[in-house]
Structure 1
Amino acid sequence: MGIEVGGLLGLIWLIIVIWAVVKVAKSSAGPIAKLLWILILLIFPVVGLVIWLLLGPKG
């Protein structure tokens, strides 16, 4: 049962990170800011998502 739960949680986390990348891509931030946020989200998915939720582009 541990493998299935871990796989499900990993899938949910992947969906959340993809959602964040799409939100960044659609934001009104400049192209450099978008690129930096997307790189942070992809390289550091856990920390990057938390930082993006706290400091990322709003709106």
Structure 2
Amino acid sequence: MIKMICLFTLILYVLFYTSGQLINASKETRQLDFSSFEKGVYWVRILDKKGNESTKKVIKN
């Protein structure tokens, strides 16, 4: 099981396949659970309460 746990509450996250296809988006969470997703490479774009935005690559084997 792959979970991405954040030290802060995310205001928004958007999850994409490498191809750019949108998988999921949600508001106000501290944990992203990848257990139901197939093996592959995913991109997560996150926005925190301070307005910081970043994109992270997640590889599920």
TM-score (norm 2): 0.26
More strand by share: 2
More helix by share: 1
Q: Which has the higher contact order (CA 8 A, sep 6+)?
A: 2
TM-score (norm 1): 0.26
